[in-house]
Amino acid sequence: MADKKMVEEITSMDVDFAQWYTDVVKKAELIDYTSVKGCMVIKPAGYAIWELIQRQLDERFKEAGVENVYLPMFIPESLLQKEKDHVEGFAPEVAWVTHGGLQPLQERLCVRPTSETLFCDFYKNDIHSYRDLPRVYNQWCSVVRWEKETRPFLRSREFLWQEGHTAHATEEEAQQRTIQMLNLYAQFCEEVLAIPVIKGQKTDKEKFAGAVATYTIEALMHDGKALQSGTSHNFGDGFARAFGIQFADKDNSLKYVHQTSWGMSTRLIGAIIMAHGDNEGLVLPPKVAPIQVCVIPIQQKKEGVLEKAYELRDRLKKTCRVKVDDTDKSPGWKFAEAEMRGYPIRVEIGPKDLEAGKCVLCRRDTREKTEVSLEKLEESVAQLLDTIQKEMLERARAHREAHTYTAESMKELEEIFSGGSGFVKAMWCGSQDCEDAIKEKLSVTSRCIPFEQEKLSDVCVCCGKPAKKMVYWGKAY
Q: Is the dihedral of CA 428, 433, 436, 440 positive or negative?
A: negative
> How many other C-beta atoms are found inside a 10 Å radius of the C-beta of residue 237?
18
pLDDT (0 to 100) of residue 1: 39
Give the C-alpha separation, 171 to 441, whole Å: 38
C-alpha angle 157-160-161 in degrees, rounded to nearest 5: 120
Q: Are strands 322-324 and 293-297 parallel, antiparallel or unpaired?
A: parallel
List pLDDT tens digits, range 207-247: 998 899 999 999 999 999 999 999 999 999 999 999 999 99
Closest CA to 138 of 164, 157, 105, 166: 164
pLDDT (0 to 100) of residue 362: 98
Q: Which domains does the chain have, with CATH numbers?
A: 2-276 (3.30.930.10), 291-390 (3.40.50.800), 404-474 (3.30.110.30)
Share of the chain above pLDDT 90, in %: 93
pLDDT (0 to 100) of residue 2: 43
**Which residues of the chain have a pLDDT value below 50?**
1-3
Q: Are 289 and 258 in contact (CB under 8 A)?
A: no
pLDDT (0 to 100) of residue 180: 98
pLDDT (0 to 100) of residue 9: 82
Give the C-alpha separation, 21 to 209, whole Å: 30
| Chain centroid, CA 399 distance in Å | 18
Sheet with 358-363: list strands edge to edge.
Answer: 322-324, 293-297, 345-349, 358-363, 369-373
Give the C-alpha separation, 417 to 354, whole Å: 55
pLDDT (0 to 100) of residue 369: 98
> How many other C-beta atoms are found inside a 10 Å radius of the C-beta of residue 32?
13
Q: Are 135 and 232 in contact (CB under 8 A)?
A: no
Beta-carbon contacts of residue 390 (< 8 Å; ≥ 6 apart): none
112: which DSSP letter? P
Beta-carbon contacts of residue 386 (< 8 Å; ≥ 6 apart): 286
Closest CA to 51 of 249, 237, 288, 282: 288
pLDDT (0 to 100) of residue 7: 52
Q: Are strands 103-111 and 369-373 parallel, antiparallel or unpaired?
A: unpaired
Burial class (CB in 10 A: 0-12, 13-18, 19+), 357: exposed
